[in-house]
């Protein structure tokens, strides 16, 4: 994440800041992936400059993305064009589906929970951290070090894959059940996930996006990249709980509406600016 001047970093500054490589991936996923056409280095550098990324950092981001095997170069004279590799296409397609699927996800809940009991040695901090990261990405929340839950029971196979990869299948169990008469399910959700922190993130997102009024096509292009960049963190943070488990007037619902509305409004102008930017130079 980029360093913000001064000794303090507010949540809004953290939300608005992004690494050069992360912004590059957002640009590739939003514009290069749908068209399938290569893009000139100069075009990427120009757009990243509009996104406040210095040229040196932008060039490093391009090379690191290439080193990861996600883009590949082709030279035409003294100029270089970049195309997505098969691995890069797969990565960005999965990410795009997650981002836009998350914004539209409003499935009904049948009241069942997936409960996972995992045995992890107390002294194996590395495995515990990987477990927390990977089960969190799968949408599970922890009640304690060894108990994980989600109201999305279809995540069971994904959870099993995580346990298998970490060598934790032996000594672990999964259960699918409904709640009994003891306890409150909303309280359980607050224990398993930091819903207050997630909601603050949504409120910051709404404040940031609400201030943006792009006047030109080029400004719409920059605003579109920023919009997707800021939204893409929420599928990592928000488990996508059914409305029955969420606090009243959940900010995430409004944020999803604003994301969809702004994206649809800015997309035609942003696409026009992208076409102009990436035309044969």
CA distance 239 to 136: 8
Q: Is 232 helix (H, G, I), strand (E, B) or coil?
A: coil
Q: How far is CA 234 from CA 226, 245, 259, in A?
A: 14, 18, 11
Average pLDDT over residues 243-266: 93
Tokens representing residue 9 in the block? 């970093």
Tokens representing residue 160 in the block? 């099993």
> What pLDDT is recorded for position 265?
96
End-to-end CA distance of the chain: 31
Cα 263-268-273 angle, rounded to 5 deg: 110
Q: What is the DSSP string of 203-221?
A: HHHHHHHHT----SHHHHH
What is the band of 6 on the pLDDT scale with cuts at 50, 70, 90? very low
CA distance 103 to 122: 37
> Scanning the structure block, which residue is given the tokens 């990861």?
68
Among 228, 245, 273, 239, which Cα is nearest to 95's?
Answer: 228
> What pLDDT is recorded for position 100?
87
Q: Are 153 and 112 in contact (CB under 8 A)?
A: yes
The partner residues of 40 in beta bridges, in order of sequence, read 81
Query: Counting Cβ atoms within 10 Å, is residue 23 exposed (0-12), middle (13-18) or buried (19+)?
Result: buried
> What pLDDT is recorded for position 44?
97
CA distance 218 to 238: 31
Cα 25-28-30 angle, rounded to 5 deg: 105
Q: Is 148 helix (H, G, I), strand (E, B) or coil?
A: strand
Among 141, 136, 144, 138, which Cα is nearest to 119's?
Answer: 144
> What pLDDT is recorded for position 103?
66
Write out pLDDT tens, residues 222-233: 999 999 999 998
> What pLDDT is recorded for position 80?
94
> What pLDDT is recorded for position 226?
96
Write out pLDDT tens, residues 26-35: 999 999 999 9
Write out pLDDT tens, residues 155-177: 999 999 999 999 999 989 999 99
- The phi, psi pair for 114, rounded to 5°, reads -95, 125
Phi-psi region of 183 (alpha: psi -120 to 50; beta: other; left: phi over 0): left
Q: Are 145 and 127 in contact (CB under 8 A)?
A: no
What is the band of 105 on the pLDDT scale with cuts at 50, 70, 90? low
Q: Are 199 and 251 in contact (CB under 8 A)?
A: yes
What is the band of 59 on the pLDDT scale with cuts at 50, 70, 90? very high
């Amino acid at each position: 994440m980029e360093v913000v001047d001064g000794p303090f970093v507010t949540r809004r500054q953290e939300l608005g800041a992004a690494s050069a490589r992360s912004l590059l991936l957002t640009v590739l996923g939003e514009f290069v992936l749908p068209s399938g056409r290569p893009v000139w280095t100069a075009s990427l550098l120009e757009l990243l400059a509009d996104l406040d990324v210095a040229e040196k950092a932008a060039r490093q981001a391009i090379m690191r993305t290439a080193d990861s095997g996600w883009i590949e170069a082709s030279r035409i004279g003294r100029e270089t064009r970049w195309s997505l590799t098969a691995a890069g296409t797969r990565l960005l397609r999965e990410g795009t589906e997650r981002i836009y699927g998350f914004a539209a996800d409003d499935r009904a809940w049948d009241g069942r929970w997936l409960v996972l009991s995992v045995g992890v040695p107390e002294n194996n901090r590395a495995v515990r951290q990987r477990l927390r990261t990977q089960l969190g990405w799968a949408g599970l929340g922890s009640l304690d070090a060894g108990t994980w839950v989600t109201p999305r029971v279809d995540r069971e196979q994904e959870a099993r894959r995580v346990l298998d990869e970490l060598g934790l299948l032996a000594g672990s169990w999964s259960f699918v059940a409904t709640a009994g008469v003891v306890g409150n399910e909303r309280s359980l959700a607050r224990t398993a996930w930091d819903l207050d922190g997630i909601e603050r993130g949504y409120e910051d997102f709404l404040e940031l996006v609400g201030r943006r009024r792009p006047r030109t096509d080029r400004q719409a292009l920059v605003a579109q990249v920023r919009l997707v960049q800021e939204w893409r963190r929420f599928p990592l943070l928000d488990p996508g709980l059914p409305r029955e488990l969420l606090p009243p007037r959940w900010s995430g619902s409004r944020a999803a509406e604003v994301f969809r509305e702004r994206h649809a409004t800015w997309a035609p102008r942003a696409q026009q600016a992208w076409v102009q930017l990436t035309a044969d130079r």
